[in-house]
Structure 1
Amino acid sequence: MNWSSKAMIVLEKIMFISLLNILWIACAILGLGIFGVFPATFALFKIISNSELFEPQSSLKPIVKEYLIHYRAYFWKANIIGVIYAAIFYGIAIDKNIIQNNEVIASFLDLPLNIFLVYVIETLVFLFPIAIHTEGTTKQKIRLTVMAPMIMPKASVLIILVGVTLFILLDIFSAGIFLFFISLSVLALNWICLQSMYRKSLIIDEGASV
């Protein structure tokens, strides 16, 4: 394979990443923002796990079609999860506001609350691949999601490092959010989670629904 063919393959993959990013933004807007973010993210985690996505494609239509199928399939269940996490984050925001208004309380509780916030974000990242790629009841998946940051500590550290790195890059190149930031973030975080889950023998061949 000559250099021009390799360059075309790289450009095609970049195009796929950009397309998925645009689809995520469009579907998030389609769901009026707050009701579109979680279904769009579930669809992105689902489709980006498909290795065939990065094979040479003669048309982008199958990718768009598959993404929209997953978006519709996850819409209601994903939004239920979204409401739960929104309530948790809202509660944390209220607690932080209360704590910051009292220096004595802040000296004791600010750090634990920040650690808890990071933990909640970690469970949110793990939730998507766990819901899609593991089998079991909803209760079992919830238990695994809650325990994931503790039973997969290396992945948890990598998630934090990747997250910080991506946000630094976004600060430098803010237009990236429209071109690749979301899909590239999901690609990296999904890979980290799946590798760790594979080592823990949690992965199944076919993704299970939420």
Structure 2
Amino acid sequence: MDHDGSMSRMLRMCEWVMRLAYTNLLWLLFTMLGLGIFGLMPATTALFSVMRKWIQGHEQVSVFRTFWKVYREEFVRSNLIGVTLFIIGTIIYVDLAYIYPTSWFL
């Protein structure tokens, strides 16, 4: 089927919306698979990995396989980064709450 310019753009946009919806469902599923806290960072890492492949031009990548592979390979490493970021965020929060003890901050 031959598409004119506007129809081709609309089809491309719909493909991207479908891809984003599918990857977000995978992200939600794998976050719950990791019991929420331990699945959040690996699922986010896998999501960004799949999207990075798309942006680099690998349009025909197997989304589920790539997501699962990155999720397994980066599980421990991404959770360590997540715990580190959580600790840093908590320290910043406590410092700011101590410096500015107002009701809006707590």
TM-score range, shorter chain: 0.7 to 0.9
Post-superposition offset of 1:101? 2.1
Query: RMSD of the TM alignment (CA)?
Result: 2.0
Taking the aligned partners of 2:50 and 2:96, their CA distance within structure 1 comes to: 36
Query: Whole-Å Cα distance in 1 between the matches of residues 40 and 29 of structure 2?
Result: 10
Cα distance, 1:4 vs structure 2 = 3.7
Relative contact order, CA 8 A, sep 6+: which one is greater?
Answer: 1
Q: Does 1:35 align with 2:38?
A: yes
Q: Distance in 2 between matches of 1:9 and 1:39?
A: 29
Partner of 1:95: 95
The alpha-carbon deviation at position 9 of structure 1 amounts to 2.5
**Aligned residue-pair number:** 96
Q: Which residue of 1 aligns with 2:18?
A: 15
1:5 is displaced (CA, Å) by 4.2
Report the alpha carbon displacement of residue 8 of structure 1 after superposing the two structures with TM.
2.4
Q: Secondary structure at the match of 1:84?
A: helix
Distance 1:18 1:94 in 2: 37
Which residue of structure 1 aligns with residue 82 of structure 2? 82
Counterpart selection for 1:46 from 38, 46, 49: 49
5+ long unaligned stretches in structure 1: 103-210
Alignment of 1:1-210 (within 5 A): 1-2=3-4, 3-50=6-53, 51-53=57-59, 62-101=62-101
Q: Deviation at 1:30? A: 1.4
* Cα distance per residue 1:138-196 (max 9 Å; x no partner): xxxxxxxxxxxxxxxxxxxxxxxxxxxxxxxxxxxxxxxxxxxxxxxxxxxxxxxxxxx
Scaled by the length of structure 2, the TM-score of the pair is: 0.78
Q: Hey, what's the Cα distance between the residues in 2 that align with 1:36 and 1:97?
A: 29
- For 1:16, the aligned partner's letter is R
Cα distance in 2 between the residues matched to 1:6 and 1:65: 28
Deviation per residue, 1:29-84 (Å, 9 max, x gap): 2112211111111111211111223x5x8xxxx21121111111110111011111
CA distance in 1, matches of 2:8, 2:98: 58
Give aligned-pair identity as a percent: 31
Return 5+ residue gaps in structure 2 as ranges: none
SS in 2 for 1:64: helix
